[in-house]
């Protein structure tokens, strides 16, 4: 049984059901909190730490996506400190793998890119890690490019919780953590993948994408070449 | 079951290995008994063959009133193999080792000759300790439940189950003021009460023992499990009775094979004797304990990661609340305590909460076991009352530093802890004081460092550890520890400017505030505490391109030869 709770977010009085999270109440009231690992309809895991908010009377920051509302909470969602931390989170997402927006299939439809824009992230201070990571193009329709994976786990959860196939998992620890299909077999050899494409749809970046969309794939029209460079004149 | 040697006859005869492990028990009362340490440290020095040899020698001497038995850890690991003769109050160190006590001296001592070894009473290493957790560790055979029971073991469980209600047991734990020994120091009684009050889940409730000790330089839990596993099991059984659980797990590291073996033996024996399993002590109370072995991830010491691992999942933490006390294993209320916390329970129940609380300080009650290591003379396992000063631990019990070396810092609390400098040596060791000093009690690792340690290098060492052990789930820990490591590396190699130091401090603050679990939140601590007390060393690396301790290899400057002693590894 959910009951009504009242709380204050960014100075505004808001009402919520007791089973709601801070994130859902905030969004309901038009207060934007950036997220990457959260996706409506999937279990929240509190991993990207973008949605951290301040709670009055507490020194600890709270992840809005997994914090249940409580009566009388006074929450701040965008202090100078929070914005600074969020910029740092986005910066580290970029530096962790090899992101090159200009040649990315997700350019202009990328959640990481738009979060960076929204936070006015203009430059990097920390060092890029430049890991040597793989691209798996063995699937007939889709590609996994680890260079762009931010380990948000949305694909893992959508495949497990919605499609029920549980193809994806994370393997390895820390900087060696990698998205893997079927316990580490190439995606194309997966016996559990239904090729439903849900993972591709929920991927916030260009890590999972459909073939034929990448910037390298459009074909030049070779038959026109002789006309362009004037082969016929020499003949 | 190991007795089936395939010889003729209906009765299986013990194997040779088994016979060799049997103690030598005299017919009447023993005039003297040799307690031969069989914990990992002494075993690695050959204390098992020493035990067999000693038995032979005593038998050959014709003495019939001398006992020779295997016991758990005797504490002073650096002087192993150790043998104690309690009737004579003597300790025989480095037995049969070059520069140590010859075996003859011990045999003479045991068989009525001149007393040898060292007198325990006058050795501060032994006399300054107060043993509650380790009380039975050098006294009982770790692989024999009969020995534990003969020493008064399982009396506390019997007392609790026959004369106390579960609530009364919890009252005693609350009164004792016992706090979690895994590091955070959460009040144990309160945790028990929460689990007791929680409505049982579909599978009832669980009691879990966290034996995933992983701090560098820490081996308290390993020693307790190797020395007296029954004491931990008894504590778990009392807890299960108090909170209403019927199943339990001990989550132990795979790197502790001896502890796991002895624990497994102990569970089997306790089930056989009716202290665990179905119908404990003939009552309707069931408590079944299983061992789960970790796969080597440090993060699995974090309680939610540990539970995920027990359930067969990937060992990654999850946000709390809900806390395991209300929703733990398979969604059921789960009590998780550390090995040492459980090891305190039997004596606490047997005596009383008040008696337990008479040891220690205002807010930190009882004793604490520490693994004392590093640049001190006496390294090993110690147990001291809360409130002793660091100076007493390092210089009295630890015997101070090697000749000519100068004390620099004590590191407590492992990778989430900090370094305490010389001017704070007189501070008392308790939860509050340690955290005010920028460190933590932690699980009990205590690493003493002298002037051959570079504090920036120490911070880098712990950051290297954290970046390796980060589970990778949350970004600040996964990438933040990498970036902090790179910055520390830059400072160590003399390539950093003030801007890098500022970035390091900024990043450390951010990682502490935003990480998901204790691993990430605590990872910046070694940086903060070394910056707080040893900023001058950072500045020397940055401004003068000099490593004062001569540990770090400054780029373009050849390392000073011969000053690498005690380094945690140079340039990587």
Q: Which domains occur in chain A, in start order?
A: 4-78 (3.10.20.740), 85-210 (3.30.70.20)
Which chain A residues have a beta carbon less than 8 Å from that of B482? Answer: 96, 129, 174-175
Mutation pick from B294, B321, B327, B479 vs chain A, by most beta carbons of A within 10 Å, is B479
Q: What is the mean pLDDT of residues A171-196?
A: 97
**DSSP summary character for residue A159:** I
pLDDT at B230: 98
Say if residue A124's pLDDT is above 70.
Answer: yes
Least CB–CB distance from A126: residue in B318, B475, B483: B483
Chain B touched by A173 (CB under 8 Å): yes
Contact B117, B90 (CB under 8 A): yes
pLDDT at A231: 60
pLDDT at B331: 96
Chain B touched by A61 (CB under 8 Å): yes
* Interatomic CA distance for residues B268 and B251, integer angstroms: 17
Domain with CATH 3.40.50.11540 in chain B: 145-357
Residue B517 Cα, gap to closest chain A Cα (Å): 10
Residue A5 pairs with which residues in a beta bridge? A16
Chain B touched by A19 (CB under 8 Å): no
Please enumerate, as own/partner, the contacts of B350-356 that have beta carbons within 8 Å and a separation of 24 or more: B350/B152, B350/B155, B350/B156, B350/B159, B352/B172, B352/B175, B353/B171, B353/B172, B353/B173, B353/B174, B353/B175, B353/B176, B353/B177, B354/B175, B354/B176, B356/B132, B356/B175, B356/B176, B356/B177, B356/B178
Contact A55, A74 (CB under 8 A): yes
Domain with CATH 1.20.1440.230 in chain B: 455-543
Which chain A residues have a beta carbon less than 8 Å from that of B486? Answer: 126-127
Mutation pick from A59, A76, A126, A133 vs chain B, by most beta carbons of B within 10 Å, is A126
Chain B touched by A88 (CB under 8 Å): yes
pLDDT at B572: 35
* Interatomic CA distance for residues B273 and B378, integer angstroms: 39
∠ at Cα B246 (B245, B247), nearest 5°?
100
CATH 3.40.800.10 given to domain B16-122: no
Least CB–CB distance from B472: residue in A49, A129, A174: A174
Within the 99-138 window of chain A, which residues sit less than 8 Å (CB to CB) from chain B?
Answer: 125-127, 129
Interface predicted TM-score of the whole assembly (ipTM), two decimals: 0.92
Chain B touched by A83 (CB under 8 Å): no
Inter-chain CB proximity B319 and A66 less than 8 Å: yes
Least CB–CB distance from A92: residue in B319, B471, B483: B483
Residues 6+ apart with CB under 8 A from B414: B214, B215, B216, B217, B218, B442, B443, B445, B462
pLDDT at B567: 41
Query: What is the rounded average pLDDT for all residues in chain A?
Result: 94
∠ at Cα B478 (B477, B480), nearest 5°?
60
Inter-chain CB proximity B472 and A173 less than 8 Å: yes
Which chain B residues have a beta carbon less than 8 Å from that of A151? Answer: 472-473, 475, 478
Provide CATH code, domain B367-450.
3.10.20.600
Which chain A residues have a beta carbon less than 8 Å from that of B320? Answer: none
Chain centroid to Cα B17, Å, comes to 29
Least CB–CB distance from B476: residue in A60, A89, A177: A89
Domain with CATH 3.40.30.10 in chain B: 16-122
Confidence of residue A179 (pLDDT cuts 50, 70, 90): very high
pLDDT at A87: 98
The per-residue pLDDT for range B232-290, each reduced to its tens digit, is 999 999 999 999 999 999 999 999 999 999 999 999 999 999 999 999 999 999 999 99
pLDDT at A218: 64
Write out the DSSP string of B66-105: EEEEEES--S-GGG-S-EEEGGGTEEE-STTSTTS--HHH
Least CB–CB distance from B472: residue in A45, A85, A172: A172
pLDDT at B561: 45
Residue A43 pairs with which residues in a beta bridge? none
Least CB–CB distance from A85: residue in B467, B471, B510: B510
Inter-chain CB proximity B482 and A85 less than 8 Å: no
Inter-chain CB proximity A126 and B503 less than 8 Å: yes
Nearest Cα neighbor of B459 from B509, B412, B542, B525 is B525
Q: What is the mean pLDDT of residues A165-180?
A: 97
Say if residue A1's pLDDT is above 70.
Answer: no
Nearest Cα neighbor of B215 from B346, B76, B397, B370 is B370
Low-confidence ranges of chain B (pLDDT < 50): 1-10, 561-572
The bridge status of strand B247-252 relative to strand B288-293 is parallel
Contact B92, B84 (CB under 8 A): yes
CATH topology of domain B145-357: Rossmann fold (3.40.50)
Q: Domain B455-543's class?
A: mainly alpha
Which chain A residues have a beta carbon less than 8 Å from that of B480? Answer: 92
């Amino acid at each position: 049984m959910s009951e009504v709770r009242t709380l204050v977010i960014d100075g505004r009085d808001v009402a919520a059901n007791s089973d709601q999270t801070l994130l859902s109440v905030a969004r309901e009231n038009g207060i934007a909190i950036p997220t990457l690992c959260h996706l409506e309809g999937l279990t929240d895991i509190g991993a990207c730490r973008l949605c951290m908010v301040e709670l009055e009377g507490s020194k600890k920051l709270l992840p809005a996506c997994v914090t249940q509302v409580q009566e009388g909470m006074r929450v701040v969602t965008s202090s100078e400190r929070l914005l600074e931390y969020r910029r740092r989170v986005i910066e580290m997402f970029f530096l962790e793998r090899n992101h090159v927006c200009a040649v990315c299939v997700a350019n202009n439809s990328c959640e990481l890119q738009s979060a960076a824009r929204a936070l006015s992230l203009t430059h990097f201070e920390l060092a890029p890690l430049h890991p040597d990571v793989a691209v798996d193009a063995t699937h007939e329709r889709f590609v996994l490019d680890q260079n762009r994976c931010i380990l948000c786990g949305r694909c893992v959860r959508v495949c497990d919780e919605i499609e029920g196939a549980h193809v994806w998992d994370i393997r390895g620890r820390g900087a060696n953590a990698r998205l893997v299909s079927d316990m580490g077999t190439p995606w194309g050899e997966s016996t559990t993948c239904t090729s439903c494409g849900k993972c591709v749809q929920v991927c916030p970046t260009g890590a999972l994408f459909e073939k034929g969309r990448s910037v390298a794939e459009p074909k030049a029209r070779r038959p026109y070449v002789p006309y362009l460079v004037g082969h016929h004149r020499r003949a | 079951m190991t007795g089936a040697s395939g010889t003729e006859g209906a009765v299986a005869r013990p194997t040779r290995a088994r016979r060799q492990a049997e103690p030598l028990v005299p017919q009447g009362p023993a005039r003297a008994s040799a307690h031969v340490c069989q914990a990992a440290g002494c075993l690695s020095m050959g204390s098992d063959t020493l035990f067999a040899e000693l038995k032979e020698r005593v038998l050959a001497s014709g003495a019939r009133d001398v006992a020779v038995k295997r016991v758990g850890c005797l504490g002073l690991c650096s002087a192993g193999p150790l043998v104690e003769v309690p009737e004579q109050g003597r300790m025989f160190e480095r037995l049969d080792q070059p520069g140590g006590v010859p075996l003859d001296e011990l045999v003479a001592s045991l068989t009525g000759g001149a007393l040898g070894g060292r007198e325990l009473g006058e050795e501060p290493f032994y006399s300054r300790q107060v043993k509650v957790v380790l009380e039975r560790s050098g006294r009982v055979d770790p692989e024999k439940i009969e020995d534990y029971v003969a020493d008064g073991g399982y009396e506390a469980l019997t007392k609790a189950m026959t004369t106390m209600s579960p609530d009364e047991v919890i009252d005693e734990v609350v009164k004792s003021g016992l706090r979690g020994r895994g590091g955070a120091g959460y009040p144990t009684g309160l945790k028990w009460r929460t689990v007791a009050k929680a409505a049982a889940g579909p599978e009832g409730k669980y009691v879990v023992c966290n034996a995933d000790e992983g701090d560098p330089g820490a081996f308290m839990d390993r020693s307790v499990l190797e020395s007296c596993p029954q004491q931990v099991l008894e504590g778990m059984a009392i807890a299960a009775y108090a909170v209403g659980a019927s199943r339990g797990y001990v989550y132990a590291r795979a790197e502790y094979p001896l502890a796991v073996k002895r624990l497994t033996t102990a569970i089997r024996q306790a089930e056989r004797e009716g202290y665990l399993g179905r119908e404990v002590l003939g009552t309707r109370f069931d408590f079944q304990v299983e061992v789960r072995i970790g796969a080597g991830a440090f993060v699995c010491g974090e309680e939610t990661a540990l539970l995920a691992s027990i359930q067969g999942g990937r060992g990654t933490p999850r946000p709390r609340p809900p806390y395991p006390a209300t929703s733990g294993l398979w969604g059921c209320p789960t009590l998780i305590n550390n090995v040492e916390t459980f090891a305190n329970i039997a004596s606490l129940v047997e005596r009383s909460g008040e008696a337990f609380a008479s040891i220690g300080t205002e807010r930190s009650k009882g004793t604490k076991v520490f693994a004392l290591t590093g640049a001190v003379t006496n390294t090993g396992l110690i147990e001291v009352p809360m409130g002793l000063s660091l100076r007493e631990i390092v210089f009295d019990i630890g015997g101070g530093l090697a000749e000519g070396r100068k004390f620099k810092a004590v590191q407590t609390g492992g990778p989430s802890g900090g370094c305490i400098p010389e001017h704070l040596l007189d501070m008392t060791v308790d939860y509050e004081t340690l955290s005010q000093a920028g460190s933590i009690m932690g699980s009990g690792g205590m690493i003493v460092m002298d002037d051959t340690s570079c504090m920036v290098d120490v911070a880098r060492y712990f950051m290297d550890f954290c970046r390796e052990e980060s589970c990778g789930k949350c970004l600040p820990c996964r990438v933040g520890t990498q970036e902090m490591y790179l910055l520390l590396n830059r400072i160590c190699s003399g390539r950093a400017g003030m801007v890098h130091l500022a970035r390091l401090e900024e990043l450390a603050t951010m990682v502490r505030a935003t990480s998901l679990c204790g691993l990430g939140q605590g990872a910046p601590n070694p940086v903060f505490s070394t910056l707080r007390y040893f900023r001058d060393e950072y500045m020397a690396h940055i401004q003068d391109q000099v490593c004062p301790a001569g540990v770090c290899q400054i780029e373009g400057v050849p390392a000073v030869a011969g000053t690498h002693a005690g380094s945690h590894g140079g340039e990587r």
